[in-house]
């Protein structure tokens, strides 16, 4: 096996083949989540325009629809997932293992999970309150 020097690092062709497909699934997941977020973001802009100026009651009435509540929940989950994948790539590319990469990945996961839990918890509170008030 021949050695190739890339930026002063000697690697064999076996090393190149081993890493050839590494990250392909993550790359595809990032692209698919970004693609799914395009129509959801357009829906979010439309929803914000519909709610604008109406206050809490207009937002609660808007979210009384299961379709709108579901779309908002999917948007929050996909956005947090997309954010986590992007931050993970940055951490893996720029922080060495000896510098606490695993700790930063864990903190990033906690941040994204907290965003999802807080957002969906708030959505649940609004949805359950409007359902009770509307009954």
Angle between helices 66-94 and 101-134 (to 10 degrees): 170
Q: Average pLDDT in the 31-46 region?
A: 96
Does a structural domain hold residue 3? no
CATH of the domain at 106: 1.20.1300
Does a structural domain hold residue 56? yes
- Secondary structure (3-state) at 90: helix
pLDDT at 7 over 80: no
pLDDT on residue 46:
96
97 versus 42: the higher-pLDDT residue is 42
Phi-psi region at 23: left, alpha or beta (left = phi > 0; alpha = psi -120 to 50): left
Q: Average pLDDT in the 85-97 region?
A: 90
> Does the pTM exceed 0.85?
no
- Domains in the chain: how many in total? 1
pLDDT at 64 over 50: yes
């Amino acid at each position: 096996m021949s050695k190739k020097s890339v930026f002063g690092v000697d690697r064999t062709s076996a090393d190149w083949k081993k890493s050839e497909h590494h990250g392909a699934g993550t790359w595809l997941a990032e692209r698919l989540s970004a693609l799914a977020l395009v129509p959801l973001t357009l829906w979010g802009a439309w929803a914000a325009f519909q709610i604008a100026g109406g206050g809490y009651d207009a937002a609660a009435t808007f979210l009384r629809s299961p379709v709108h509540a579901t779309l908002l929940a999917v948007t929050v989950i996909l956005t947090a997932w997309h954010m986590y994948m992007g931050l993970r790539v940055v951490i893996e590319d720029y922080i060495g293992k000896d510098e606490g990469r695993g700790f930063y990945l864990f903190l990033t996961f906690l941040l994204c999970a907290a965003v999802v839990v807080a957002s969906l918890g708030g959505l649940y509170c609004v949805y359950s309150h409007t359902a009770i008030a509307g009954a």
